[in-house]
Amino acid sequence: MNLKKEDYPVTVLYDFDLGEFSPKERSVARKVSDLSPMFHDKAATEALIKQGDPLVYEIFYYGFKTSLSDMALGTTRIQPGKVGDEYYMTKGHFHAAENQPEIYFCVKGQGNLLMQTIEGEFLAERWKVGTISHIPPMWAHRVVNTGNEPLVFVASYHLSAGHNYGPIEEKGFRKLLVERNGKPEFVLNEQWK
Ligand code: M6P
Ligand code: ZN
């Protein structure tokens, strides 16, 4: 076997206080403006963008690509916060490759994992530190931070799964997670038809 540089094992370290892995690899930052089609309160979205467009979440990727495999690790850190009454969340996506699953592991904070099929079957899992969720192929997935501290989760997936954001950008998930009397509550998403 002729080993190339990428065929050697890689080890990373998670910092429980920072909610970060080191060494960091590629990263992406998403602000309120990057999620403007997603939040239901358009006036609150515009107002926040004008006030400085705050950071909603960051993604760090470890694309452990070898000559034979493409098993990736992603860590996502969602800040606490809301747009209007709706909690900060990831955009949410289907996989472009329809046979691809994913594993999410909550390592900091609390919130919910929302999942939905293209036909509109909807499921939500309550998350606390230690929760591990398997997302089967064909289920869109989004994570919502309902706590007062950052929510961090680790994702394991194949890079070749890809992302399909289209259906979620268009009409979102069936239910929104909003704050009512200081507590998270699900309400129907009027945009979903
Ligand atoms: C996880 C993985 C990534 C994804 C990220 C944020 O780390 O599922 O593939 O990009 O979460 O989710 P989204 O792409 O929906 O913003
Ligand atoms: Zn995914």
Residue 85 belongs to domain with CATH number = 2.60.120.10
Number of domains in the chain: 1
Give 2 Cα–ligand 1 centroid separation in angstroms: 33
Ligand 1 pocket test: which of 30, 76, 159 has the largest number of ligand atoms within 8 Å of its C-beta? 76
Q: Is the pLDDT confidence value at 27 over 90?
A: no
Shortest-distance atom of ligand 1 to CA 61? 7
In one letter, which amino acid is 2? N
Residue 3 in any domain: the answer is no
Residue 2 in any domain: the answer is no
In this prediction the pTM is 0.96
In this predicted structure, which of 6-10, 26-30, 52-56, 116-120 has the lowest mean pLDDT? 26-30
Bridge-based pairing state of the strands 20-22 and 70-78: unpaired
Tell me the per-residue pLDDT of 141-177, one tens digit each, with 9 for 90 and over: 999 999 999 999 999 999 999 999 999 999 999 999 9
Kindly state the tokens that stand for 177. Answer: 């997670």
Q: Quickly tell me which residue has 């890809």 as its tokens.
A: 162
Residue 94 in any domain: the answer is yes
Residue 171 in any domain: the answer is yes
Residue 105 in any domain: the answer is yes
Tell me the per-residue pLDDT of 64-107, one tens digit each, with 9 for 90 and over: 999 999 999 999 999 999 999 999 999 999 999 999 999 999 99
Residue 178 in any domain: the answer is yes
Shortest-distance atom of ligand 1 to CA 102? 8
Q: What is the Cα gyration radius of the chain?
A: 17
Residue 6 in any domain: the answer is no
**Domain of residue 124, residue span:** 11-192
Among candidates 142, 143, 139, which has minimal Cα distance to 100?
A: 139
77 lines ligand 1 (CB under 6 A): no
- Which protein residue's CA is at the shortest distance from atom 3 of ligand 1? 74
Residue 163 in any domain: the answer is yes
Q: Helix (H) and strand (E) counts for the chain?
A: 2, 15
- Supply the pLDDT for residue 61: 85
Distance CA 115, CA 33 (A): 23
